[in-house]
Amino acid sequence: MNDYFRKYKNLMMLTVFIGATIIALIPLFGVLGYVVKNGLSALNLQFFVNLPKAMGLPGGGMANAIAGTLIMVLIASALGIPIGILAAIYLTEYDRHSWLSTAVRFATDVLTGIPSIIVGIVIYTAVVLKMGNFSALAGGLSLAVIMIPLIIRSTEEMLKLVSHSIREAGFALGISKAKTILKIVLPTAAKGIITGAMLAVARVAGETAPLLFTALGNQYWSRSLNEPTASLPVQIFQYATSPYKEWHQLAWAGSLVLILMVITLNLVARYAFRSKSI
């Protein structure tokens, strides 16, 4: 094989990889472009303060859906973040190598791959059927289930980066293990843990499937956590698949708001809280 051929082949393959990268990015700009273009033209103040209007009427908004999403994400975070962080502490601080922690780690990885609609089914049969109604609580719970493995993974990684000498310094001062973990190890890894938590929040904020039969949706304000609750993704889904032009417009506007939320969370998590020190 001569050198000329090899160099030619090298160039060709490298071009192929660059081409693949360009192809991969086309849909990103395609989706973002359309969402921004169609969303901006439909977005106005009414969108943020009004309730949905009846079919075909202009001027409806998604105020209740935005509020619903915030509430359910809050419930999910209140449950998922502490549980995830505590489990991660066990995996790094108490028991790194036993069969139990390997099993937990493996289950965590596998859980992140379970389709989110499965979580919806499980919460429906376990919570909605038992309580007798759809609710923000059930919706928040299903988002929490999706969040937990994500939080465990990211927190564990951050805790592993904390150097052993910091822990040993704590022990050497006679500080108890619990205090060393809570007062020294966690704060050291705090930035990374917050980053992971924000990414997990961004991920569940856009989830639709698990909310379909847990929170269901609502055309009005929900007065308690125990009522069917609207959410931005479910509302977008319902409007997008409806036959009305006005609703399609609202779906684009909703998508723009949702994407802005998710991308802002991603950017803030990555750049504001990123630390290279640990």
In the bound complex, what is the minimum distance in angstroms from residue 69's beta carbon to other proteins? 11
In the bound complex, what is the minimum distance in angstroms from residue 28's beta carbon to other proteins? 5
In the bound complex, what is the minimum distance in angstroms from residue 56's beta carbon to other proteins? 18
Q: Collect all residues with Cβ–Cβ distance below 8 Å to 170 and sequence separation of at least 6.
A: 179, 180, 183, 184, 185
In the bound complex, what is the minimum distance in angstroms from residue 54's beta carbon to other proteins? 21
Q: Which residue lies nearer to other proteins by CB, 61 or 210?
A: 210
- Give the whole-angstrom CA distance, residue 116 versus residue 139: 12
Tokens 């923000």, located at residue: 136
In the bound complex, what is the minimum distance in angstroms from residue 192's beta carbon to other proteins? 9
Q: Which residue lies nearer to other proteins by CB, 53 or 105?
A: 105
Q: Which residue lies nearer to other proteins by CB, 95 or 168?
A: 95
CB 123 within 8 A of CB 212: no
- Give the whole-angstrom CA distance, residue 218 versus residue 195: 32
Q: Is 132 left (phi over 0), alpha (psi -120 to 50) or beta?
A: left
Residue 229's CB: how many other CB atoms inside 10 A? 30
Q: Which residue lies nearer to other proteins by CB, 71 or 147?
A: 147
For residue 68, the surrounding DSSP H or E stretch is: helix 63-89
Q: Which residue lies nearer to other proteins by CB, 67 or 111?
A: 111
